């Protein structure tokens, strides 16, 4: 990467707030399009206005002159939807503060936060009561500054102690209350001057002598506060216009680390825009296609994970094209930022097809919902594997590879391989699994797989990947809805509000005077719908099994229990220990069958099981 090595990298200077806000209003000052949205709450804006009025430090700004088409730019929120001019200055750090001040003090439309609009006012009566003057009575500004929320039909009311104090809906209301709209401070159209005149006339009862006295007091006690805000000198650090693109992204990420954090997707958006590829637009379009197919992934789907998949495909192709080279398959942060537009375009649709195949695979393997998804990050390697196979070998061979891919997938879940940083494992797995499909050695995840069976009777939290994996594995093997709705599916999962619940209720154990800390483990849990779980309601298994055998038929309900790895007779006879030992062995065998490798037998020693939270219990 090119780095500047001569001259000053930046200049520092103060800029009056009036110049900064006018630049925003005229669209001569803009934001990089990858900036996150403005998110400040009204109390934060109020505190900032107080700092500015009192000339307290409010942080510095980081800017850069715009010398070419390096970044996609957009206007500040509240100044319009599209740029009306060609900006000459870009704000890298200071968006939240400048947007807050622009919306609150430069325009009279108020600030809009989460769909609600707030207006700031100065209680002029409070300011005029400060006979010591602003140099002595600094707290008076704090007392005078307040905001109100716009209610239905545009009504604005000031409240004190939850009681309405007065209305501020019209200009006449403002004048009567002495509430000066802060949004007219910069007086672009004479509104402030007219407001001041009308307020003083009303307060002086049209008596010239009193008017002149009040005018003098205004100039002494109100006007200085307005002047302070207009002329507030923001420290501005301006970078050189020839700063390399990558360096700007790095700087921008660091200075925004304490605000609304950026991820690598935002930075790649900026880098690729300079190359003519609008990443954010393309991803928005693609996400709309993929999200309905992948209901089990967190929403909105991660653009960063998609970029990692692109990097895996591109680097795998480079390595194959250059056998014997030191090229590595990678998807680390620097690798993502190094991808150019040609590479992204080349592999985009290949990865989309990989995501589509992954959707079928995950559904077939019982991953029905985000609630029971073992690892969201596994989509990176899974989609890259399918994308590569479909691209090079076609649909038939990609479909034939499912058994091997399934084995790798479940080995990764039950070894908790993706519980930490995933970049290294993703890169290794994509290369090794695709090689295995074509006749090579099994991947490390499969070759070295071991599973400690005792963990089944220790793990009691749905946050654990093994816990979720067992639920998904049961669904993949044909587990049925306890209420007789058929084989579990994504639609059934949501329609019947399936969740993890106890099979042998803990209240039933108490009735039997049994204390067993293993009762909250995954061995005693399965997916049960909300209505059925309510019907179980702490009953003895013999009671609820009997009820459901009558309702659905004994053969039908017993088949449902069997589909969840439950011995129907042991459960129906309230034989807790025999039921538990039988089911844990069936779960162990399920894992053995799908993963192979070494699945250790249970040790049957006294186990220390961590306390569980209320959320974990049900």
3-state secondary structure of 487: strand
Cα maximum dimension of the chain: 100
Q: How confident is the model at residue 72 (pLDDT cuts 50, 70, 90)?
A: confident
Residue 2 has pLDDT above 90, yes or no: no
Distance CA 334, CA 240 (A): 24
What is the structure's pLDDT at 613?
A: 45
pTM over 0.75: no
**Within a 10 A sphere around the Cβ of 274, how many other Cβ atoms?**
14
What is the structure's pLDDT at 245?
A: 63
Distance CA 252, CA 62 (A): 9
Distance CA 66, CA 77 (A): 20
Distance CA 527, CA 549 (A): 18
Distance CA 361, CA 405 (A): 9
How does pLDDT run across 352-381, given as a tens digit for each residue? 999 999 999 999 999 999 999 999 999 999
Residue 614 has pLDDT above 90, yes or no: no
The tokens describing 566, both together, are 């439950």
β partners of residue 145: 122
Average pLDDT over residues 494-504: 94
First and final CA of the chain: distance in angstroms? 54
User: In the chain, count of helices (H) and strands (E)?
Assistant: 29, 16
What is the structure's pLDDT at 606?
A: 44
| Residue pair 226/185 in contact by the 8 Å Cβ criterion | yes
How does pLDDT run across 141-164, given as a tens digit for each residue? 888 999 999 998 889 999 887 788
Instruction: Tell the residue number behind the tokens 């630049």, with chain if given.
Output: 23
Q: How confident is the model at residue 308 (pLDDT cuts 50, 70, 90)?
A: very high
3-state secondary structure of 495: helix
Please say whether the dihedral angle defined by the alpha carbons of residues 71, 76, 77 and 81, taken in this order, is positive or negative. Answer: negative
3-state secondary structure of 533: helix
The tokens describing 39, both together, are 């998110």
Give the lowest-confidence range in 157-161, 168-172, 206-210, 604-608. Answer: 604-608
| Residue pair 312/329 in contact by the 8 Å Cβ criterion | yes
Give the lowest-confidence range in 4-18, 54-68, 97-111. Answer: 4-18
Of 118 and 242, the one with more pLDDT: 118
Average pLDDT over residues 263-289: 86
| Residue pair 195/174 in contact by the 8 Å Cβ criterion | yes
The tokens describing 170, both together, are 């019209």
């Amino acid at each position: 990467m090119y780095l500047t090595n001569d001259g000053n990298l930046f200049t520092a200077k103060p800029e009056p707030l009036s110049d900064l806000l006018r630049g925003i209003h005229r669209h001569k000052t803009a934001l990089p399009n990858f900036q996150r949205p403005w998110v400040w709450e009204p109390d934060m804006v109020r505190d900032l206005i107080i700092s500015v009025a009192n000339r307290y430090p409010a942080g510095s700004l980081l800017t850069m002159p715009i010398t070419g088409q390096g970044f996609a730019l957009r206007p500040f929120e509240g100044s319009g939807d599209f740029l009306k001019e060609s900006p000459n200055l870009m704000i890298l750090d200071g968006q939240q503060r400048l947007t807050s001040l622009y919306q609150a003090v430069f325009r009279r439309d108020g600030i809009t936060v989460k769909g609600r609009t707030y207006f700031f006012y100065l209680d002029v009566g409070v300011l005029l009561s400060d006979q010591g003057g602003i140099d002595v009575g600094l707290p008076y500004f704090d007392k005078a500054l307040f905001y109100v929320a716009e209610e239905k039909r545009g009504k604005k009311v000031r409240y004190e102690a939850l009681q309405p104090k007065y209305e501020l809906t019209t200009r006449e209301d403002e004048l009567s209350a002495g509430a000066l709209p802060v949004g007219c401070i910069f007086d672009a159209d004479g509104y402030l001057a007219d407001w001041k005149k009308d307020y003083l006339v009303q307060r002086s009862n049209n008596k010239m002598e009193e008017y002149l006295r009040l005018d003098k007091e205004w100039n002494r006690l109100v006007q200085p506060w307005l002047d302070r805000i207009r002329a507030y000198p923001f420290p501005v650090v301006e970078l050189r216009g020839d700063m390399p693109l990558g360096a700007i992204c790095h700087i921008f990420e660091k200075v925004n680390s304490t605000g609304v954090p950026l991820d690598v997707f935002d930075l790649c958006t900026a880098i690729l825009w300079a190359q003519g590829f609008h990443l954010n637009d393309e991803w928005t379009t693609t996400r709309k296609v993929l999200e309905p197919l992948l209901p089990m992934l967190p929403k909105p789907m991660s653009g960063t994970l998609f970029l990692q998949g692109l990097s895996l495909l591109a680097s795998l192709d480079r390595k194959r094209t250059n056998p014997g080279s030191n090229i590595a398959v990678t998807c680390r942060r620097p690798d993502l930022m190094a991808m150019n537009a040609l590479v992204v375009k080349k592999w985009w649709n290949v990865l989309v097809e990989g995501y589509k195949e992954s959707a079928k695979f995950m559904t077939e393997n019982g991953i029905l919902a985000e609630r029971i998804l073992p690892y969201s990050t596994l989509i990176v390697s899974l989609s890259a594997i399918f994308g590569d196979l479909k691209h090079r070998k076609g649909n038939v061979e990609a479909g034939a590879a499912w058994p091997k891919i399934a084995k790798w997938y479940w080995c990764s879940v039950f070894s908790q391989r993706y519980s930490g940083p995933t970049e290294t494992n993703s890169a290794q797995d994509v290369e090794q699994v695709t090689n295995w499909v074509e006749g090579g050695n099994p991947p490390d995840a499969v070759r070295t797989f071991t599973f400690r069976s005792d963990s089944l009777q220790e793990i009691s939290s749905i946050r654990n990947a093994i816990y979720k994996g067992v639920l998904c594995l049961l669904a993949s093997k044909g587990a049925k809805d306890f209420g007789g709705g058929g084989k579990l599916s994504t639609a059934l999962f949501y329609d019947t509000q399936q969740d993890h619940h106890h099979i042998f209720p803990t209240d039933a154990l108490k009735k039997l005077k049994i204390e067993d800390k293993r009762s909250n483990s995954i061995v005693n849990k399965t997916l049960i719908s909300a209505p059925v779980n309510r019907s179980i309601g702490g009953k003895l298994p013999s009671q609820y099994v009997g009820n459901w055998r009558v309702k659905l038929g004994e053969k039908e309900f017993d088949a449902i229990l069997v589909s969840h790895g439950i011995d129907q007779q042991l459960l129906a006879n309230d034989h807790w220990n025999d039921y538990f030992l039988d089911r844990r062995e069936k779960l162990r065998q399920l894992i053995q069958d799908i993963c192979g490798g070494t699945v250790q037998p249970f040790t049957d020693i006294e186990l220390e099981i961590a306390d569980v939270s209320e959320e974990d219990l049900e």
